[in-house]
Structure 1
Amino acid sequence: MGATSSRADGASRLVFAGVAFAFLLVMLGATLPTPLFPVYQQRFGFTQLIITVIFAAYAVGVIGALIVTGRWSDQLGRRPLLFGGLVAAALSDVMFLVSDGLAGLLVARVLSGISAGIYTGTATVAVIELAPKPWKRMATFIATAVNMGGLGLGPVVAGLLGQYAPWPLHLAYAVHLGLLAIAVGAIGIAPETVQRPDRPRLTLQRLRVPAEVRGLFLPAAVAGFAGFAVLGFFSATAPAFMGEVLGHANLALIGVVAGTAFFSSTLGQLAQGRFAERKRLPLGCGVIIVGILLVGIGIGVVSLWLFLGGAIIAGLGHGIAFRAGLGAVTAASPVNQRGALTSTFFVVVYVALSIPVLGIGLTARIAGLPVAGMGFATFVALLAAVALVSLLRYRARATPDPSSQPSFRES
């Protein structure tokens, strides 16, 4: 019995690791282009605005996948959606490999966004469901860490290969495509965790915010928007600021700086549990403000170290605010509406990946990159401040009786 149990435990850990690996790989692919944007810009003569448009196409794919397929895994099962996400990721790699202009790059980014959108919802749930018993308590954090860790590794891997290996615009995608074959095998051996209904209903994910949560949803969503705007900044425009403003064109260094914000976010999500529940979201807002202002100052005084320090601090703030905010609104929501509320929250924060960076591209054409960067930093700091003030007002209006207050614990 002991040997049988040991083998079963080993098999469950292998399956769990395989699904987590596939999740990490899909998210890694989403940020592979980041350090290569300057090379695309030079090769094809793109303006900074076009680069931000290419990046924003990713957010279109993510939001579309969240809305269209958000409820499909409950009807079709987790594995079909996970396979579908891998197919979209592989098609994205192929498009990057064969693309010779703007149209192909836009298609590749949309496909990458679709794969990430599918995995953001489905793989998160699958990782939690397949976690071995000893790891159940940490399953949610493992899922978010894999998500953010993959996004952080993408620029690092592509930057190292782009700088020190041949075929700089293609090798990272070829390697990623090969690794996806391993991920297909990992999903293939994973058990299905959903009982498929006889007649699946493939409906769109409704976006709604229950009335009783709206007062809390606003500051949480604004804080999440500010935090994801920071991640969008480092994913889309950090290469331009590194090269054209700070004078560092090494692709590996660009990749490390871009990835740092995501790695810090993972640490912030882990660290937020050390603080009292009521302090987490306000703390996250405050840390975002400090970090993004350091980024703006680094741009203004042309300091790589201030720029990097701001990335680390703003990433920490994002992790704290994002996990605390999402946990707070889902805990305060009626159980039967949490799925729709979570999807609405994710749509809001993923919009933040595209709109602000497009603003940077437009402003850079008119006033130059330094002004655009410092203006962006001010904008994000103001957003985080609005979230903080809105949260304090919400709490001031709330009934002081603790039993009537929504719990600020993780869902």
Structure 2
Amino acid sequence: MPAPTLAGERRSHAFVFCLSLSLMVSLMNSSAPTPLYPFYGERFDLDTLDLTLIFGAYGVGVLVALIAMVRLAGNLSDLRWVFVPASLLVTFGAAAFAHGAALGPLCAARLLAGLGSGAMTAVVNAALVRFNPGRSEKLPALVATLAMVSGLALGPLVSGAALQLDIRPLASPFWLIGALGLALAAATLLLWPVGGTPLPTPEHARAASLREALRGIGLPFHLCAWSVFFSWSFAACVFVIGPHVAQQVFGLQDRGVFGYVVSAYLLVAGLSQLYCQRVDARQALLSGWLYQCLALLVLLLACYTRSPYLALPGLAIGGYAYGALFVGNARLVNQLAPRHSHAKLIAYFYATVYLFNATPLPMGLLVDAYGVATASIVALCLFLGLALALFAAACRTRFAAR
């Protein structure tokens, strides 16, 4: 009958909308602290290395959750057993961070939030594939990309506004995230479809071991993984050290404005991801490396001349590179991975990539030892050298499975 069918379609689309917003909120929790790091340093007497530890604790939580959830989320008949704990971890992590007043509690709160975000990423992606209205192959990836991009961009926008307006900047953004997370979790559970599609049956009696799968895919897999690791490592340094660079190198005294700059950077990265979905994967990868090298050159010149007018276009170029490198490499890994070991290789790919959370630690040591200006120039030179080497390797590599 037409009426029930129409009502069912509306309910299904409302469910996907709430599900994607839940993922968006968890990613807001990821990026919200970015403009606040100098404020934490002053308020709680933390040095740069301490701030990188807070950032890294979140990444550890995400990595642990993704590794633990990669099999569980795909094998559970009822994904709510993962969705509910993930929502609670996101909310509790945000609330705990709002009350943190020392390095230990802040790291613990970010670890909780990271566990929640990692679990939420896994379960939402699995649910979008399983409960796919219209059975469109592109819809789950598109919805997940939009949710992640908007969440990452909105996080520093909210905290930057709270900082600029002086509305309890260390607490109010995270209480907002926690409240939104709980409300969306409740709405998603109310709309959750009854039953669902059956779990996929394995096509092979024995999946290849990780070593066998890696031997089959060859060097291109490692190049893809370490390319995204590099891109995300650079972004991580922007998030953690960027507020100090903006203030001490470029003279930006209004800290809230840096939150808007990061939001714009992430928005460009998101638009780049959407655009690069339409182009050839290798072309996206190579254009990403070209723009990454250009961005590093422009930012190096900006830091040397202390010119914010060079830094802004440098970040914009870097935002495009961030999106292009992620899309190009992720699509190539999906194309290269054989079906019988696809899950193992994708899990290993993201496990490698998420090691980027450790990159700001040596950067923090460098800043504490030599100051922000010198450390920025040294780090950009190192990043540029590595980028040129990886770009050359990507140009010579034939991305085809053995």
Q: State the AA in 1 paired with 2:101.
A: D
Partner of 1:7: 7
Structure-1 residue corresponding to 2:204: none
RMSD of aligned Cα (Å): 2.2
What is the identity, as a one-letter code, of the residue corresponding to 2:134?
K
Kept in 1: contact 2:32–2:158 (CA 8 A): yes
- How far did 1:234 drift? 2.4
What TM-score does the superposition give when structure 1 sets the normalisation length? 0.89
Q: Secondary structure at the match of 1:100?
A: coil
| Equivalent residue number for residue 192 of structure 2 | 190
Query: In structure 2, the residue corresponding to 1:289 is in which secondary structure?
Result: helix
Q: Can you list the C-alpha shifts for 1:189-247, whole angstroms capped at 9, x where unaligned? A: 223646589xxxxxxxx966521212111221221012101221222121111122211
Q: Which of 290, 310, 326 matches 1:286?
A: 290
CA offset digits 1:252-271 (Å, max 9, x no partner): 21111122232122111111
Within 2, Cα distance between the matches of 1:374 and 1:52? Answer: 18
The 5 Å alignment of 1:103-118 reads 103-118=104-119
C-alpha separation between the residues in 2 aligned to 1:196 and 1:13?
A: 21
- The TM-score normalised by the length of structure 2 is 0.90
| 1:366 matched residue in structure 2 | 369
1:375 corresponding residue in structure 2 = 378
Question: Which of 220, 229, 232 pairs up with 1:228?
Answer: 232
Structure 2 residue 60 is the aligned partner of structure 1 residue 56: no
SS at match of 1:121: helix
Q: 1:36 to 1:194 in 2, by over 3 A?
A: farther
Name the structure 2 match of 1:71. 71
Quick one: distance in 2 between partners of 1:86 and 1:280? 34
Structure 1 residues without counterparts, runs of 5 or longer:
198-205, 399-404
Q: Which residue of 1 aligns with 2:388?
A: 385
In structure 1, distance between residues paired with 2:257 and 2:72:
40
> Which segment drifts farther, 378-387 or 10-19?
378-387
Distance 2:73 2:102 in 1: 35
Is 1:37 the counterpart of 2:41? The answer is no
Q: Distance in 1 between matches of 2:132 and 2:51?
A: 39
Between the aligned partners of 1:43 and 1:277, the Cα distance in structure 2 is 45
C-alpha contact 2:94 2:175 (8 A) present in aligned 1: yes
| 8 A contact 2:31–2:155 mirrored in 1 | yes
SS in 1 for 2:251: coil
In the TM superposition, structure 1's runs of 4+ consecutive aligned residues that sit over 4 Å from their partners are: 192-197, 206-209
Q: Structure 2: how far apart are the matches of 1:252 and 1:135?
A: 40
Q: Is the 8 A contact 1:92 1:109 kept in 2?
A: yes
**Is the alpha carbon distance of 1:125 and 1:338 closer, same or farther for their aligned partners in structure 2, counting shifts above 3 Å?**
same
Aligned ranges 1:346-365 → 2 under 5 Å: 346-352=350-356, 354-365=357-368
Q: 1:119 and 1:13, CA in 2 relative to 1: closer, same or farther beyond 3 A?
A: same
For residue 266 of structure 1, the aligned residue among 265, 270, 285 is: 270
Instruction: Note the C-alpha offset of 1:54.
Output: 1.1
Q: CA deviation at 1:320?
A: 1.1
Q: Which residue of 1 aligns with 2:127?
A: 126
> Equivalent residues in 2 for 1:94-173 (5 A)?
94-133=95-134, 136-173=137-174
- Render the CA deviation track for 1:21-72: whole Å, top value 9, x for unaligned: 1000011011111111111111111111111111111111111111222211
In 2, the alpha carbon distance for the partners of 1:332 and 1:339 equals: 12
* Identity, % of aligned positions: 24
Q: CA deviation at 1:107?
A: 0.4
Check the 8 A contact 2:363/2:375 in 1, yes or no: yes
Give the whole-Å Cα distance in 2 for the aligned partners of 1:376 and 1:2. 62
Q: Secondary structure at the match of 1:70?
A: helix
The offset of 1:160, in angstroms, is: 0.4
Query: How many angstroms apart in 2 are the aligned matches of 1:207 and 1:107?
Result: 32
**How far apart, CA to CA, are the structure 1 residues paired with 2:260 and 2:287?**
26
Cα drift, residue 177 of structure 1: 1.5
CA displacement at 1:135 relative to structure 2 = 5.8
Kept in 2: contact 1:88–1:114 (CA 8 A): yes
Shift in CA distance, 251/339, structure 1 to aligned 2, threshold 3 Å: same
One-letter amino acid of the counterpart of residue 98, structure 1: H
- State how far apart, in whole Å, the 1-side matches of 2:17 and 2:168 are: 31
Alpha carbons 2:92, 2:112 under 8 Å: kept? yes
Unaligned runs of 5+ in 2: 201-208
CA deviation after TM superposition for structure 1 residue 166, in Å? 2.4
Match of 1:19 in 2: 19
Is the alpha carbon distance of 1:63 and 1:4 closer, same or farther for their aligned partners in structure 2, counting shifts above 3 Å? same
Letter of the 1:190 partner, please give it: W
Tell me which amino acid in the other structure corresponds to 2:316. Answer: I
Letter in 1 for 2:393: S
Q: In the aligned structure 1, how far is the partner of 2:130 from the partner of 2:319? A: 28
* d(CA) in 1 for partners of 2:351, 2:68: 12
Cα distance, 1:134 vs structure 2: 7.9
Structure 1 348/147 Cα, relative in aligned 2: closer, same or farther at 3 Å? same
Tell me if structure 2 keeps the 8 A contact 1:261–1:312: yes
Deviates further, 220-229 or 269-278: 269-278
**CA–CA separation in structure 2 for the residues paired with 1:170 and 1:273:** 37
